[in-house]
Amino acid sequence: MKEKVEERVSFDGKKVKILGGIYEEGKPESPFQWRKKLRSREEMLAYLKTGERYWFSDEWYGSEKRKTPA
């Protein structure tokens, strides 16, 4: 795949050349079934505890840390 170089303005206002997007051209043929990556019950439950920790983590409540769990 050929590299695309784009010119952008950096945080200090200088113009810099950076690598552009790297992706395959075209349209997706089918849905991106990321949930199918989790196959067993154990994997699914583990993901819920971590990925969906906002509701299912035992000890990590983010902004609600150290508060009484709902």
Partner 1 sequence: MAETEAKSADQASVEMIEKAAAEGVETVFDRALKMKPCPIGAEGSCCKNCGMGPCRVQAPRKEGAVRPTGVCGATAETISARNFARMVAGGAAAHGDHARGVAELFLATAKGEVSDFEIKDEQKLYQLAMDFGVEIGNRDLKDIAIDVGEIAMAEFGRQEGEILFAKRAPLKRQELWRETGTMPRGIDREVVEIMHRTHIGVDQDYKSILKAAARCSLSDGWGGSMISTELQDIMFGDPVPVAGQINLGVLKEDHVNIIVHGHEPLLPEMLVVAAQDPEMRKYAESKGAKGINLAGMCCSANEILMRHGIPVAGNFLQQELAIITGAVEAMTVDVQCEMQSLVNVARCYHTKLITTDPRAHIEGAMHIEFEEHEALNIAKRILREAIDNFPNRRAQVQIPSQSIDTVVGFSHETINYLLGGLYRASYRPLNDNIINGRIRGIAGVVGCNNARTLHDDAHLKMILELIGNDVIVLTTGCSAMAAGKYGLLTPEAAHKYAGEGLASVCEAVGIPPVLHMGSCVDNSRILMAATAVVKDGGLGDDISDLPAAGAAPEWMSEKAISIGQYFVASGVYTVFGVTWPTLGSDEVTRELFEGFDEIFKGRWDFEQDPVKAAGKMIEHIDKKRKALGIDKKRERVLYDMAKRRELEAA
Which residues in this chain contact partner 1 in the complex, by CB under 8 A?
21, 23, 27-28, 30-35, 37-38, 41, 44-45, 47-48, 50-52, 54-56, 61-65, 67-68, 70
To partner 1, the closest distance from the beta carbon of 60 in angstroms equals: 9
- Token pair belonging to 62: 């983010």
- Please tell me the distance from the alpha carbon of residue 21 to that of residue 8, in angstroms, as a whole number: 13
CB 3 within 8 A of CB 19: yes
Q: Which of 2, 37 has the CB closer to partner 1?
A: 37
The rounded distance, in Å, linking the Cα atoms of 12 and 27 is 37
> Whole-number minimum distance, CB 44 to partner 1, in Å?
4
